[in-house]
């Protein structure tokens, strides 16, 4: 399995098909997905990773990657770079999802910093962002540790057209 980068406690590597069962437990868990529109079924999770991992690796050379505990070799979540729409246009966003037993231990911050550094050093990107909703305080804490500054913008929710605030955390080199 192709390794992307490592940290003191984590291996970050490309996701393979066999990882979807482990990752699916995050996306099908109500607490883990509380800041999303809802949980994902097995087929929705597969489609998510088809687009944001497998297809993205081929098209862009990046995507969501597996976050693996270096000691146990257990997949604890995903973190990586995807393309997301912001007021500045289509931008490289660092996103992260961890199984809840690993929350509050610095793993998401460690993985996101590694992805940010990879984006600057290996992909030669000039700017990366993270997007959070105003009520997702845990994700905001991670983003504040990873990025240099924050802006607030509004976007329309797909389907309902409701205008919502989003927090945009930005790192530039």
Q: Domain locations in the chain?
A: 3-172
Which tens digits make up the pLDDT trace of 134-164?
999 999 999 999 999 999 999 888 778 889 9
pTM for this predicted structure = 0.94
Geometric angle at alpha carbon 140, from 85 and 119, rounded to 5°: 55
Q: Is the pLDDT of residue 124 over 90?
A: yes
Q: Among the CATH numbers 3.40.630.30, 1.10.490.10, 1.10.286.10, 3.40.605.10, which is that of 3-172? A: 3.40.630.30
């Amino acid at each position: 399995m192709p390794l992307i980068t490592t940290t003191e406690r984590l291996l970050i590597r490309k996701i393979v098909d066999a990882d979807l069962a482990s990752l699916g437990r995050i996306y099908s868990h109500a607490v883990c997905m509380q800041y999303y529109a809802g949980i994902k079924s097995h087929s929705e999770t597969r489609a998510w990773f088809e687009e944001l991992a497998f297809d993205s690796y081929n098209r862009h050379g990046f995507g969501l990657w597996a976050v693996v505990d270096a000691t146990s070799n257990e997949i604890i979540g995903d973190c990586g770079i995807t393309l997301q729409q912001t007021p500045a246009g289509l931008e490289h966003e660092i996103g992260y999802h961890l199984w809840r037993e690993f929350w509050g231990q610095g793993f998401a911050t460690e993985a996101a910093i590694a992805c940010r550094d990879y984006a600057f050093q290996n992909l030669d990107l000039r700017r990366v962002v993270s997007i959070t909703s105003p009520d997702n305080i845990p994700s905001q804490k991670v983003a504040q540790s990873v990025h240099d500054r924050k802006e607030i913008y509004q976007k329309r929710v797909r389907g309902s057209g409701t205008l919502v605030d989003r927090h945009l955390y930005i790192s530039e080199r």
